[in-house]
Structure 1
Amino acid sequence: MEANAGSFARTDPWLEDNEFSETAKFINQILMEDNVDQSPFYDPLSLQVTENSFYQALNGNLPDSPNQHPLVHSPGGETTTATTSNHNIVLQQNFGQLKLPFPDSAFQSNPQALSQPPSITVSDGFSNWDFSTAELMPQNLFNVSDYDSQFRRGLEEASIFLPPQPNLVTAPYSNREQPHNAHAVKGRKNHERQEEEEGRSNKQSALSLADETDLSDAFDRTELLREEIVCICNEQSGGKAPPKKQVRKREKETVDLMNLLLLCAQSVNHNDIRTSNELLKKIRQHSSPIGNASQRLAHYFANGLEARLLGDATSAAGRLFLVMNSNRYTTAEFLQAYQVFLSVTPFIKFTYFFANKMIMEAAAKAETLHVIEFGILYGFQWPMLIKLLSNREGGPPKLRFTGIEFPQPGFRPTQKIEETGRHLANYCKRYNVPFEFNAIASKNWGTIQLEALKIEKNELVAVNSSRRLENVLDETYDVNSPRNAVLHLIRMINPDIFTHSISNASYSSPFFTSRFKEVLLHFSAIYDVCDTVIPRENEWRMMIERELFAREAMNVIACEGSQRIEMPETYKKWHIRHTRAGFKQLPLNEEIMAKCRSELREWYHRDFFLDEDSNWMLQGWKGRVLHASTCLVPA
């Protein structure tokens, strides 16, 4: 039975009485608690980003993004007070005339903003943040030495990904002809527009992006968009408008939102504020959080680009996530939305099933099983394992559990982890499985001491991480890679089995343009999944897209440095890391693969697929691998 919008209510194998239904039962158990309707959703990743931003601000360490021009602040400063848990943290920054209120209506649509004049005013999510072009442009354009330095730095970054070809971008001025007043700048701009008009016949792409087959068709259509941008600029500057016939012809053209986003990312990367705003305005006119897949994707990606335009990407990230983590929805709402996504897609379900069956096989005769999970969050994976252990021949073993997560701000950093332990303990009582829980809250998982894990003799140790090691910083941020440090810690644990699941993507690049392309391709597939299997009007779908997917994409687009914590890698790169850390892969279990393939054929849309490569179980959509799982042991 295919899963589609018409059969949405039918496709819910989680509600059947089998091992796959345990996560749904576990979620329902949490939903039945008295305080779940009032409890705000706990997101340790957003809290981690916000805390990092505050820490850097308090220490005066707010480095500029490598491809953003720093704002020239006025001598005056403003004080922003942010409340997190039991602490009031006061940030003293020189924002000058730039005001950053955090209204309750943040992240709500504001269609009136579309009619505003060109400015960095965000029509969704940042509509009350006043960053007008009139305020920003004089500071940016007339600081000649800084502008020249930032322009050349961005140009060098983009040129890395270009094959040898004629220059697509002309420097704003040569070293011999630097403007010293407004008239010189205006003259230089007119000269640039003339050069752009003459260059149209060459059909050169306006994007300084790498040559990829996935985007080759999209690049072929960038010339039309480029002409539209030039015409807009000419009209605003008093130039000759295009003939009405050409305007009507362009209006009939279908807007390619992918191209618009790529062009906008290029402009943002080069700090071209005017062009970026015009492109964002056009994107807003053709995107919507309630439209089709591409319209929703463009809507949220525009949020990320606008956030990046606020200025310093590192400091903007903390303000951004402070707004996003404003407790606008409860744990109950998140759990209900999460259940919808679990029921209509196989990704998480098969990931859990694969890891649990491999652990169960390793612990077939163990008297004590010690599971150590890096990134436990709500513990959704483990009810299935508890059910399997309860039915084990000879009775269940004692289940010891160590849950590792980022700390919660305040005086009780392990509170949420302990709540997860309490939920799992209640579930173990249901199936008469002896249970013991150990909570560890740490900002840097690679520095956890072995003694804190409380490993005992004669127990089988299983280490698991499900799509969470990608939130650990890598060598692009720190030469002593924290990500490799975690793998070396796991090797020191010397586990009997290590199950690792990842999001298969490659948007961890330190270069913005390359990173933007990859995250756009990855989330295009994910939003297409939702558009195919969940009705557009479904409120839980909109929450999933806004609070899970859009939040991750915005972190990748808007943030730099330690604030960018979404850094997934492909399974082939993870294979190299595993090998260097001293692990080897186990062969895939054919019984597990056969069970997953059977479930896939029976319950899910035909465009989902399950494959295998080099002892990795691969899951994806329409030929694009989105998730991968493997099982390892010390070499």
Structure 2
Amino acid sequence: MKTEVRGNGGSISLQNPSLFNTPLDPITGALKGCLGSLDGACIEKLLLHCASALENNDVTLAQQVMWVLNNVASTVGDTNQRLTAWFLRALISRASRAVEGYGKVHILDFSITHCMQWPTLIDALAKRPEGPPSLRITVPSCRPQVPPLLNVSKEEVGHRLANFAKFRDVPFEFHVKDDDPCLSNETFATQFESLLTQLTRSQLDLRDDEALVINCQNWLRYLSDETKGNTTTVRDAFLDVIKGLNPRIIVVVDEDCDLSASSLSSRITTCFNYLWIPFDALETFLPKDSRQRLEYESDIGHKIENIVGFEGFRRTERLESGVKLSQRINDAGFVSLPFCEDTINEVKSLLDEHASGWGMKREEDMLVLTWKGHNSVFATAWTELED
């Protein structure tokens, strides 16, 4: 699947135009209502409003909706997944600097966020004094069946991003890297191992004149860290494959907890000492009878069940701590890139203003989001180690 937008050219043909025929509610009604309950349905509604406004050339409403989207991007899923959105500005800042001077940017997006973070990057690229580069985003068709879930196809997400990019006058392409259709009923692990063989420069149509950015957000944890005989782990194999693609920068974001131990007692102890954070955060921000809170707590409960109740390929939650995963990435031949002080101060300011209880610190080149002083989510940036 491919979606292309070139500047202010012709309109984009949508696979399901009826999705955008819903009458627009006033901004004071629909959008303020969404701000009170930032669930998946609300995010989808905001995207629909934005696309509809663009289709109807309602610039004022489109700008209002985009402002909301840029401020609540990725706020679906459990508490820690939603709060990775606070890293968005820092990561976008780092990725933007890494591709300075390039007229073409290609992002391989391995994440569970349904591309919700990319409107902010598109907006940042559109503000370049020399004009925006062309932007390509490629996503895999397979995805772990974990929250946040969205009742919209990847192709439809691509069309909505294309509308957004068109509005910001950023040349844009969106591709879905399809799996073998024979594997459609197989597990994510099986589908991804098949996809791994397709991650080559030729099959991804990588071009020498573009800056390649690889985004791994809440993704590596779902790649097996178990060896089979003398073979390498899928996690290490993935790192080897993406190294061969010669990326300009790799961004890694995940929860800062080590749940990869083979010992059940170790996983129970670590799980108990970490997963109080989302429960405590929910206690702080949502009332006990909130439907949203019950859904998030149910998601956390399913995560605990997987960590404790299953072994082998059925145990899909295999988090590594930021320090442990950073060592793995370093061993694969990458070197970390530090975040600049201005970026760190900007994120700290955002947290102080909008998220009481949350803080941020730096551990070497790793940014760490904290809840009441306890590590919650980490973010790192990497590039290939030069020989």
TM-score of the alignment, normalized to the shorter chain, above 0.5 = yes
User: Which category of TM-score, normalised to the shorter sequence, fits these structures?
Assistant: 0.7 to 0.9
**Residue in structure 2 matching 1:422, options 147, 159, 180:** 159
Alignment of 1:58-137 (within 5 A): none
In the aligned structure 1, how far is the partner of 2:79 from the partner of 2:264? 35
Q: Which residue of 2 aligns with 1:391?
A: 127
Among 169, 181, 196, the alignment partner of 1:432 is 169
Amino acid at match of 2:162: A
1:407, 1:618 → 2: CA distance? Answer: 25
**Equivalent position of 2:61 in the other structure:** none
What is the CA-CA distance between 1:501 and the residue it aligns to? 0.9
Cα shift readout 1:346-365 (whole Å, capped 9, x = no counterpart): 72222222221111112222
The one-letter code of the counterpart of 1:555 is N
Is residue 382 of structure 2 the alignment partner of residue 632 of structure 1?
A: yes
TM-score for the superposition, normalised by structure 1: 0.45
Following the alignment from structure 1 to structure 2, what is the Cα–Cα distance between the partners of residues 595 and 341?
24
Paired residues for 1:301-316 under 5 Å: none
* Offset, 1:476: 5.5
Work out whether 1:374 is the aligned partner of 2:126. Answer: no
For residue 502 of structure 1, give the secondary structure of its aligned residue in structure 2: strand
Q: Structure 1's 496 and 426: CA in aligned 2 closer, same or farther, altered over 3 A? A: same
CA contact (8 A) 1:376 1:405 kept: no
Q: C-alpha separation between the residues in 1 aligned to 2:334 and 2:302?
A: 33
Distance in 2 between residues matched to 1:399 and 1:545, nearest whole Å? 37
Shift of 1:31: 4.9
Where do 1:478-557 residues align within 5 Å? 479-546=231-298, 548-557=299-308
The more displaced of 618-627 and 447-456 is: 447-456
The CA distance in 2 between the partners of 1:25 and 1:555, in whole Å, is: 28
2:112 and 2:174 map into 1 onto residues whose CA distance is: 12
Q: 1:453 to 1:433 in 2, by over 3 A?
A: same
Q: Between 421-430 and 590-599, report the one with greater CA deviation.
A: 421-430
Structure 1 or 2: larger strand share? 2
Number of residue equivalences? 309
- The alignment's TM-score, normalised by the length of structure 2, stands at 0.72
For 2:111, the aligned partner's letter is G
AA of the residue aligned to 1:385: L
- Match of 1:618? 368
CA distance in 2, matches of 1:407, 1:631: 22
Alignment of 1:104-183 (within 5 A): none
Q: Which residue of 2 aligns with 1:600?
A: 351
Kept in 1: contact 2:84–2:253 (CA 8 A): no
> 1:577, CA displacement in angstroms?
0.7
Q: Which runs of 4+ in 1 moved over 6 A?
A: 23-26, 340-346
Q: Distance in 2 between matches of 1:582 and 1:597?
A: 31
In 1, Cα distance between equivalents of 2:77 and 2:278: 11
The amino acid across from 2:325 in the alignment is W
Q: How does 1:342-353 map to 2 (within 5 A)?
A: 347-353=83-89
Unaligned runs of 5+ in 1: 1-11, 16-20, 35-335, 410-414
Partner of 1:30: 47
CA gap of 1:436–1:460, structure 2 versus 1, over 3 A, is same
User: 1:470 maps to which residue?
Assistant: 221
Q: CA deviation at 1:600?
A: 1.5
Residue 329 of structure 2 corresponds to residue 566 of structure 1? no
Distance 2:360 2:77 in 1: 18
SS across alignment from 1:525? helix
- Is the partner of 1:585 in helix, strand or coil? strand
SS at match of 2:203: helix
Mark the CA change 1:560 to 1:617 in structure 2 (over 3 Å): closer, same or farther. Answer: same
Change (3 A) 1:510 1:408: closer
- In structure 2, give the amino acid aligned to 1:390: A
- Shift in alpha-carbon separation, 1:343–1:491, aligned structure 2, 3 A: closer
Q: Deviations over 1:462-516 (max 9, x none)?
A: 1111111111111357752000011111110111111111211111112212111
Q: Which residue of 2 aligns with 1:590?
A: 341
Separation in 2, partners of 1:373, 1:574:
19
Q: What letter is aligned with 2:369?
A: Q
Q: Does 1:443 align with 2:192?
A: yes
Contact 2:213–2:250 (8 Å) recurs in 1: yes
Deviation readout 1:312-343 (Å, 9 max, x if unpaired): xxxxxxxxxxxxxxxxxxxxxxxx9x747799
Please tell me whether Structure 1 or Structure 2 has the larger radius of gyration of its CA atoms.
Answer: 1
The residue type paired with residue 502 of structure 1 is D
**Pair 1:438–1:341, CA change in 2 (3 A):** closer
CA contact (8 A) 1:477 1:562 kept: no
Which stretches in structure 2 are left out of the alignment for 5+ residues? 1-31, 52-71, 146-151, 180-190
Q: Deviations over 1:105-157 (max 9, x none)?
A: xxxxxxxxxxxxxxxxxxxxxxxxxxxxxxxxxxxxxxxxxxxxxxxxxxxxx
Name the counterpart of 1:456: 207
1:422 aligned partner, one-letter code: H
Cα distance in 2 for partners of 1:557, 1:519 equals 9
8 Å Cα contact 1:374/1:405 also seen in 2: no
TM-superposed CA distance for 1:28, in Å, is 3.6
Query: In 2 relative to 1, CA 408–631 (structure 1 residues): closer, same or farther, beyond 3 Å?
Result: closer
